Structure 1
Amino acid sequence: MAATSDKIMNRTQDGFVHHASSGLKSGLNTTATITSSTVVANTHFDVIIIGAGFTGLMAARELSLQNRKVLLVEARDRIGGRTFTTEFENEKYEMGGTWIHWSQPHVWTEVTRYGLSIVESKGATADRLSLLFDNGSRLKIASMSDLFTEVCEVMNKYSNVDGVQGRTIFPLPHDPFAAEEINQTYDKLSMQDRLDQISSTLSKEMYEFMDAYLSMNSQCRLSESGFIDHIRWWALGDYETFRLFDKTSRYKISEGTTALAQAIFNDCHNVQLLLSTPVVSVSRKDDNNITIRTQNGQLYSGRTTIITIPLNTLHKTEFIPPLKSEKQRVINERQCRGGSKFAVKLEEPIGKWCGYAPYPNPITIAFTDDEDGSIIIGFGMEDLIDIQDLNAVKLELNKFLPDIKIKYIIGHDWRSDPLAGGTWGWYRPGQVTSNLLTLQENEPPLFFASSDTANGWRGFIDGALESGLTVVRHVEHYLNEQTE
């Protein structure tokens, strides 16, 4: 497949910029927009992959290495799924999935393979903190060095539900079923349940700090967020507070996540790509014959299909005949919807800084991202703030930083995005033990894969790559069996 140029930047319909001087404009420039292939009529593919996010891209590359004939079909006008990099006024921004770490095995393999590098989000290690308490009415300026010991103690206490820092629940962080019987007990807990269990041992300020941090992780009300997903993160973070911080929010790809997506795509051979092509139905005719129907009525056929559609929008796809009733049930149940992510460019830099505010503040966490502190990345919950409204965002950020002035806001509303239905994956109480295995189960010739159903770094780029690798193994086994 012909390489795409890093210098060619087209426009995607995703995202927006609201500039203080020129107003709101939809769409963003990105190199993730690639020219679609011309598919020859009546071509019968070995595998049709629905979705060109990192799961779909990984699956396409690996199948192409096995000389499979692959069609990659994507509803968006770009590759990358819930990630893409944009540039605006000589600044680079990540609109979706961003942070990686060298301990994340699948993504780091790809970073090494393609010679990419990492850069630090400076505010992730900021010592200067703005803390909002009492429903946003009281601002406290603090330093992380002063809070370091207490934050570690409280995180340890919160995670130590089994007396050994969660190790009996997740003894093997990449195997969520290694302690299945124990998991069933703790999977019933919400994150709010666990916070309530230790609340009597916390100061009011530390309770609200934990509320802010935990709410940002799940991007959902703590009462609706599964505690066991926190323990999964905790285990993947080596059961230690600041190692977890480093792995989830400190390092990103210097060249941009889109550079990684392009690199994987450029390694695909015998793969045809269709962008701006939503799939509305998948039909199984027999064990070796499927047909997909697109929104504009086009039909494409193949031996198998891999469905990588995000969990919160998978229910919109029609399967003929229907999927097994249990699988359809858990698809319809969905997961936490997530909240919002945005970036603001300030008129003047503020240095390394971070702010926390508990629910129901519209912004739960914000921090500077660049060297001088002129860019702030912010996260909010639910629909509590319209991230396209410059005045609304400025009003909320001024609660943390009263004197700042915003030059522009840039972002994408993943929660309202009909192709995403939210940000990253986080399960509700009870869903890991009741839903995850069912979601991972294939119904050949239909195969399912997504960052939302990965075993390890579920909800991260690493989890998407893991899921893509895993499903290819199953597809290859099935195709080989069918030809014997």
Structure 2
Amino acid sequence: MTEQTDVVVIGAGLAGLVTARELGNRGHSVVVLEARDRLGGRLWTEHRLGRTLELGGNWLHWTQPHVWAEVTRYGLEVSRGPRSEETYWLAGNEVRRGNLDDFMTLIDPGMTRLLEDTMKWLPRPDAPLTVENLAEADQFNLQEMLDKLDLTEDEKNANEAAWVGHFNAPLDQCAYVNALRWTAGASGHWHLMHEASAIFRLKDGNDTLVKAIAADTDAEIHLNAPVTAIRHTGEGATVSYGEGRQIQARKVVITVPQNILHKLDVQPALSEAKLAASREKTASQGVKAWIRVRGPIKPFFAYSAQDKPLSVIRTEFLGEDDAVLVGFGADANRIDVTDKDQVQEAIRVWRDDLEVLEVTGHKWMDDEYAGETWQIQRPGQLTKYHAAQQASEGALHFASSDIANIWAGFFDGAIESGLRAGRNIHAELKAQS
């Protein structure tokens, strides 16, 4: 017997859960199908290394309007890691040492020049395609724009390392416009962008937001329920999932990441623009490593270069006899974040006085339900695909942080897209009724 519902939501990450909440609260019956054995998608909180760690998305900020509204709605408390007392960076292969202000002063001229046209190209980050000739800027990758600045070796290395930390990818594959989008979200101020993307987190774990949203909906949520096929018409769709089960719905919301969208069995096929973006993949292809080291140590930040296995590490938790660091690298093929010896060797780029005790992480590039870390577009993808990625197709709607307007790739973008999908579907169902 085929099940029936108003809406099927594919994926129980933030985008899917927000969509389910919005539609359920408007009186529609909703079923959420999640392939994993947990909620959250690329937001994944676990207790490891003696701490509450974010294996996926980590940071949020009050300049991100949608996620901050949710923080307020559920009364969640925000905290941050310890303030760095030391900073290390590379000049060639020579390690320099100072404080964080020294490093920020070093990268300021490059950052300022690189991003000086932010508001020219993206005067409205909530409507990123406002400027008609944006494609002129969207043809460039971030590396070539940095190279045009003719920075000193110290400045170039430092700016590249900072951007690898932000983008989790080789910079010659990242869209320059993606750097503009992040900065436009911070009203054109790169210092604020840097803070908004890398400091504040939910005190009791980011999954407290996931749990709060899930508890706030009466949607029927199925875990371990991978979708195997979608057959749709203008009037509705049949979704096959799990072990031979089927459900019919008036509307379907697809929230899977860009890199795996083309792998879904959807008939009639999705638009070519959606499929092309998925096959091209996002630029992000890096790693996130959690590292417990022997203490006591002073909290620190360290930047190396984009060709190193880890380009950025920082202290996130400080104990009396240990500390836990988080690190990022541009290429998942360069380091196994679950191999203690490889991580120890990567840290020696800056310091040979730290003893690695334990490491952990998740290989997101090998994750069959993600295939990416956070969304970073390649040159041309915004102007070629963004509108088509957001567009509904008959009974099918789409929601994902990957296709958000303002803070794409962040919690905020996932919530924005879920709110949009919920609003649009409710309007369509109401009109049909």
**Would you say same fold, with TM above 0.5?**
yes
Does residue 346 (structure 1) correspond to residue 293 (structure 2)? The answer is yes
Matched, 1:115 2:75: yes
Provide the rounded CA distance (Å) in 2 between the counterparts of 1:75 and 1:91: 27
User: Is 2:226 the counterpart of 1:275?
Assistant: no
Note if contact 1:121-1:249 (Cα within 8 Å) is conserved in structure 2. Answer: no
Query: Which amino acid in 1 is paired with 2:428?
Result: Y
Residue in structure 2 matched with residue 477 of structure 1 by the alignment: 427
Give the match for residue 159 of structure 2: 210
Normalising to structure 2: TM-score of the pair? 0.96
| Amino acid corresponding to residue 364 of structure 1 in structure 2 | S
Pick closer, same or farther for the CA change 1:48–1:180 going to 2, 3 Å: same
Q: 1:289 is matched with which residue?
A: 236
Equivalent residues of 1:351, 1:374 under 8 A apart = no
Q: SS of 2:194's equivalent?
A: helix
Q: Contact between 2:49 and 2:359, CA under 8 Å: does it hold in 1?
A: no
Tell me which residue corresponds to 2:98.
142
TM-superposition CA deviations, 1:43-101 (whole Å, max 9, x none): 31100000000000000111110111100000110000001111135411111001001
1:326-405 aligned at under 5 Å gives the runs: 326-372=273-319, 374-382=323-331, 383-405=333-355
CA deviation profile, 1:203-230 (whole Å, cap 9, x unmatched): 1011011111112222111111000010
1:7 paired residue number: none
Partner of 1:192: 143
CA distance in 1 between counterparts of 2:97 and 2:63 reads 33
- Amino acid in the other structure paired with 2:172: S
Q: How does 1:400-419 map to 2 (within 5 A)?
A: 400-419=350-369
How much has 1:452 moved relative to structure 2? 0.2
CA distance in 1, matches of 2:40, 2:360: 18
- Structure 1 range deviating more: 317-326 or 439-448: 317-326
- Mapped contact 1:347–1:407 kept (Cα < 8 A): yes
What is the correspondence of 1:93-132 to structure 2 with a 5 Å cutoff? 93-122=53-82, 125-132=83-90
Tell me the CA shift for residue 398 of structure 1: 2.3
The CA deviation string for residues 292-344 of structure 1, in whole angstroms up to 9 with x for no partner, is 11253221111110000000111110111112333333332222142111211
Question: What is the distance in 2 between the residues matched to 1:330 and 1:244?
Answer: 26
CA distance in 2, matches of 1:129, 1:290: 55
Residue 289 of structure 1: how far off its partner (Å): 2.3
Equivalent-residue separation in structure 2 for 1:95 and 1:332 (angstroms) = 25
Is the Cα–Cα contact under 8 Å of residues 180 and 433 in structure 1 kept in the other structure? no
Query: Is 1:314 matched with 2:258?
Result: no
Residue 153 of structure 1 aligns with which residue?
A: 109
Task: Indicate if the aligned counterparts of 2:169 and 2:329 stay in contact, CA closer than 8 A.
Answer: no
Q: How far apart in 2 are the matches of 1:46 and 1:174?
A: 30
Contact 1:133 1:358 in 2 (8 A): no
- Kindly indicate whether residue 392 of structure 2 is the aligned counterpart of residue 442 of structure 1: yes
Alpha carbons 1:218, 1:338 under 8 Å: kept? no
Q: Which 10-residue stretch deviates more, 238-247 or 64-73? A: 238-247
Q: Which runs of 5+ in 2 are unaligned?
A: none
Looking at structure 2, the residues matched to 349 and 241 of structure 1 have their Cα atoms a distance apart, in angstroms, of: 33
- The answer as to whether partners of 2:173 and 2:283 remain within 8 angstroms in 1 is yes
| Pairing 1:78–2:38 present | yes
Matched with 1:13 is: none
Aligned residues: 430
CA contact (8 A) 2:17 2:214 kept: yes
AA in 1 matched with 2:326: I
**For 1:249 and 1:360, how far apart are their aligned partners in 2?**
21
2:207 aligned with 1:247: no
1:421 Cα deviation from its structure 2 partner: 0.6
Give the CA deviation at 1:371.
4.2
Query: Quick one: distance in 1 between partners of 2:128 and 2:399?
Result: 16
Contact 1:129 1:144 in 2 (8 A): yes
- Structure 1 residues not aligned, in runs of 5+: 1-40
1:432 Cα offset (Å): 0.5
In 1, the alpha carbon distance for the partners of 2:278 and 2:101 equals: 44
Aligned to 1:225: 174
CA distance, structure 2, for counterparts of residue 221 and residue 89 of structure 1: 29
Residue 153 and residue 257 in structure 1: after superposition, are their counterparts in 2 closer, same or farther (change >3 A)? same
- Distance (Å, rounded) in 1 between the aligned partners of 2:252 and 2:263: 17
Q: Structure 2 counterpart of 1:121, which letter?
A: G
Counterpart code for 1:113: R
* SS of residue paired to 1:363: coil
The 1:184/1:407 distance shift into structure 2, 3 A limit, reads same
Q: Which moved more, 1:260-269 or 1:234-243?
A: 234-243
Q: Which amino acid aligns with 1:83?
A: L
The one-letter code of the counterpart of 1:156 is: T
